[in-house]
């Protein structure tokens, strides 16, 4: 149980285009989903937290107009990188949060590698 999928697993796009990444909780409902970015050989940096049906909360330094997050249902959140540029090339990882045994637990997706040419 508690499986999170991401689609696509990798994407290559031209500079200036927009890319949408999906994050799905397959066998549970997640009221909160998180989006992280990871540059090569670096740690995960939290980009934003999204709750179903409400606007996402972005971390300091993350442009909300550039990284559009939609959390339309309890099992799906999407991250759209608008007008992507080479510096947006990164590994994007989502997680879905549930409350288990009194503790908030996050289950992570396998990640999406974005390369912007």
Partner 1 sequence: SQQGEEDPQALSIQEGENATMNCSYKTSINNLQWYRQNSGRGLVHLILIRSNEREKHSGRLRVTLDTSKKSSSLLITASRAADTASYFCATVKTGANNLFFGTGTRLTVIP
Residues binding partner 1 (CB under 8 A): 6, 32, 34, 36, 41-46, 49, 91, 93, 95, 97, 103-111, 113
User: Strand, coil or helix: what is 63?
Assistant: coil
In the complex with partner 1, the residue whose CB is nearer, 36 or 67, is: 36
Q: How far is the CB of 83 from partner 1 (least distance, A)?
A: 26
User: For residues 81 and 109, which CB has a smaller minimum distance to partner 1 in the complex?
Assistant: 109
User: Is the Cα torsion angle 20, 25, 70, 102 positive or negative in sign?
Assistant: negative
Write out the DSSP string of 16-61.
T--EEEEEEESSS--SEEEEEEE-TTS-EEEEEEEETTSPPEEPTT
Min dist CB 106 to partner 1, Å, is 6
Minimum distance of partner 1 from residue 109's CB (angstroms): 6
Residue with Cβ nearer partner 1 (27 or 104): 104
Find tokens 């499986």 and name the residue. Answer: 3
């Amino acid at each position: 149980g508690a499986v999170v999928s991401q689609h696509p697993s990798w994407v290559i796009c031209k500079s200036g285009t927009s890319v949408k990444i999906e994050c799905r909780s397959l066998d549970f409902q997640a009221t909160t989903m998180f989006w992280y970015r990871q540059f090569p050989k670096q740690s995960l940096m939290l980009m934003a937290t999204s709750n179903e049906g409400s606007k996402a909360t972005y971390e300091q330094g993350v442009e909300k107009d550039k990284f559009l997050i939609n959390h339309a249902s309890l099992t799906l959140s999407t991250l759209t990188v608008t007008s992507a540029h080479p510096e947006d090339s990164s590994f994007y990882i989502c997680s879905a949060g549930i409350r288990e045994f009194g503790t908030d637990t996050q289950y992570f997706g396998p990640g999406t590698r974005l390369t912007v040419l």
